[in-house]
Amino acid sequence: MMTPGQQPPTTPYGSVPSVDAVVARRANIERRIAAVTDRSVRIVGVTKGFGPEIVEVAVAAGITEIGENYAQELQSKHEAIRRVGSSGQGAVRVHFIGQLQSNKVRSLVGRVDRFDSVDRESLVLEIARRAPGAHILIQVNATGEPHKGGCAPSDLAPLVSRARTEGLIVEGLMAVGPTHGGPDAAGPVFARVRALADDLGLEECSMGMSEDLEVAVAHGATEVRIGTALWGARPIRPG
Ligand SMILES: *Cc1c(COP(=O)(O)O)cnc(C)c1O
């Protein structure tokens, strides 16, 4: 296992941050959260662009919730996640947060603890078929930007109800803030997502990333998804 002070290897994906660096950045994120709320807010470490080595570094630094965007990257990290889980360092919880194709669901079963980016009925049906009783978040596009994932706010209630009918456990909502406009634009969007979740009796709100986590937390995020502010700049993806 990685220990504090140990330098991680350079990999084909580029260099991996040291455990010490991630510990320090995690403390900084926790300070940023504590500056806006007394609630405890979960930090999901988003590892896209990194190879399997990031898993050990994350867990050694106390990050046990891992967010994955790509089925193929999760494939490459699966062994590391399994190894860490059986080493007594504590189980890793994997969140799938990327845009999800129905035909990828099958390859994710058993490797994902929660599907966070469910945004349409076909996906609900496929997850219910392949992973009965799975825990999910429904992703909502609360900014109206056409290229963002997520269902329209008006489709939310029927989708939640369909997922429940199919036996899935809907824990809450996931959303991505607006691409432009900074905190002024993000605040109302996150407030709207929180209100939609409350209307549906949903507890969890996964919103806020490295740049806008304070705004999201101030408006009721229960978990934030953090990449850059935790690991440093993402390596160039191979390929
Ligand atoms: C990459 C990504 C994040 C993390 O982004 P950072 O700005 O690096 O913190 C969070 N959520 C989703 C959906 C992402 O794709």
What would the pLDDT profile of 82-114 be if each residue is shown by its tens digit?
898 788 777 899 999 999 999 999 999 999 999
The answer to whether residue 239 scores a pLDDT higher than 50 is no
Please tell me the predicted confidence (pLDDT) of residue 14. 57
Cβ–ligand 1 distance for 210 under 6 Å, the answer yes
Residue nearest to atom 7 of ligand 1 (CA): 210
Please tell me the predicted confidence (pLDDT) of residue 234. 85
Q: How many CB atoms lie within 10 A of CB 84?
A: 23
> What is the mean predicted confidence (pLDDT) over 114-142?
98
Q: How far apart are alpha carbons 157 and 38 in whole angstroms?
A: 30
Q: How far is the CA of 67 from the centre of ligand 1 (A)?
A: 9
The answer to whether residue 33 scores a pLDDT higher than 90 is yes
Pick from 10-19, 68-77, 171-180: least confident:
10-19
The answer to whether residue 190 scores a pLDDT higher than 50 is yes
Cβ–ligand 1 distance for 225 under 6 Å, the answer yes
Q: Are 206 and 139 in contact (CB under 8 A)?
A: no
Cβ–ligand 1 distance for 69 under 6 Å, the answer yes
Q: How many CB atoms lie within 10 A of CB 138?
A: 31
Q: How many CB atoms lie within 10 A of CB 178?
A: 19
Burial class (CB in 10 A: 0-12, 13-18, 19+), 48: middle
Q: How far is the CA of 103 from the centre of ligand 1 (A)?
A: 23
Query: Among the atoms of ligand 1, which is closest to the Cα of residue 209?
Result: 9
Q: How far is the CA of 231 from the centre of ligand 1 (A)?
A: 12
- Residue 144 to residues 113, 140, 147, 154, Cα–Cα distance (Å): 28, 10, 9, 11
Q: Are 150 and 177 in contact (CB under 8 A)?
A: no
Cβ–ligand 1 distance for 84 under 6 Å, the answer no
User: What is the average pLDDT value for the chain, to the nearest integer?
Assistant: 92
> What is the mean predicted confidence (pLDDT) over 145-171?
96
User: Which residue in 54, 46, 48 sits closest to 11, CA to CA?
Assistant: 54
Q: How far is the CA of 211 from the centre of ligand 1 (A)?
A: 9
Cβ–ligand 1 distance for 120 under 6 Å, the answer no
- Residue 173 to residues 27, 74, 131, 198, Cα–Cα distance (Å): 26, 22, 19, 10
Cβ–ligand 1 distance for 36 under 6 Å, the answer no
Q: How far apart are alpha carbons 154 and 196 in whole angstroms?
A: 10
Q: How far apart are alpha carbons 12 and 186 in whole angstroms?
A: 36
